[in-house]
Amino acid sequence: MKCQTIHSLTGSCFYVRIQKMNAQNVGDTLNISEEKWTTVIRPQRPWWDLGLGELWRYRGLIALWVRREFVALYKQTIFGPLWHVIPTVISSGVFTVIFSNFAKISTDGTPPFLFYMAGNTLWVYFSGCVSATSTTFSSNAGIYGKVYFPRLAMPIASIISNLISVGVRFGVFLVFWTYFLLSGSTLHPNLWILLLPVLLLIVAGMGLGAGILVSALTTKYRDFQQLLGVGLQLAMYGSPIIYPVSNVPEHLRWIILLNPLTPVFEAFRLGFLGVSSVDPIYVLYSIGFMMALLFASIIIFNRAEKTFLDTI
């Protein structure tokens, strides 16, 4: 049997937005004063129309969906979110043994365990966001196929519910951090700590951007789903998680600095551990990159959102 796939033409994505229209524009023959359309469905949507206003009106749904994801994940588990504690501790421990004890990679004089945990905490959030949102279309196909609401609500809810797990991991990090601080290790926490919310926002934004980009591309080509695993692994080794930037040879450092995640990890460690070889001003580059990625991704996501049902 020949397998047939049905898909609609490119360019048949459409857009809906709240629009007040004048009767003269509509050109309808009916009662002119009453011609006020609130919803207009067209094949085309202007590329600059991100539909963020509509998303804001559905914030209630986002909140409920976060709750749903959370409940669904932890129901019938005794420890619930506390399950994030064990992997965090184990992976940081393994990193310490392998990279610090065996490979003797420098951690700029900070306790290796804490160094790896710091990197890990943010990295897990990033990779969690990417993986969770990269399947937006495929895992929500059922619900997307039945009801209309801003499609972005789902990936955004994923990002927020992932924040819970990063919160738990961060709590574990804080416990160890306090322990090392009190036991007199060489830690120099400083005011850069206050940058934490911004750092989380950058990571969330980049995770969302990368994730929905992949999810939009996978509606057409499943290849990208496979590519994602490889890409994430490369991104992890391309970011200063298991090594400090100071450890990178001078002539290769520009590559690491090109990575928009680098300033985030470095700024995080600067705040809590007091060591960094990257000027915190580079965080502005990360913010700029995050905004650009998010903007481009949302445009592509919006283009894919209305036709994906025909292709998936």
Q: Which residues bind other proteins (CB under 8 A)?
A: 2-9, 12-16, 21, 26, 28, 30-31, 34, 36-43, 58, 60-61, 64-65, 67-68, 71-72, 75-76, 142-149, 220-223, 306-307, 309-311
Smallest gap from residue 80 Cβ to other proteins (A):
13
The smaller minimum CB distance to other proteins, of residues 70 and 116, is found at 70
Please state the φ and ψ torsions of residue 5, each to the nearest 5 degrees.
-115, 145
Smallest gap from residue 67 Cβ to other proteins (A):
7
AA identity, residue 104: K
- List CB contacts of 143: < 8 A, sequence separation 6 or more: none
Smallest gap from residue 283 Cβ to other proteins (A):
35
Residue (of 303, 149, 219) closest to 7 by Cα position = 219
Smallest gap from residue 13 Cβ to other proteins (A):
6
- List CB contacts of 101: < 8 A, sequence separation 6 or more: none
85-95 helix and 112-134 helix, angle to the nearest 10 degrees: 130
Residue (of 155, 149, 150) closest to 136 by Cα position = 155
Strand locations in 67-151 (E): none
The smaller minimum CB distance to other proteins, of residues 16 and 236, is found at 16
The smaller minimum CB distance to other proteins, of residues 24 and 39, is found at 39
The smaller minimum CB distance to other proteins, of residues 71 and 296, is found at 71
Smallest gap from residue 45 Cβ to other proteins (A):
8
The smaller minimum CB distance to other proteins, of residues 60 and 184, is found at 60
Give the sign of the dihedral formed by CA 269, CA 158, CA 301, CA 149.
Answer: negative
124, two tokens:
């897990």
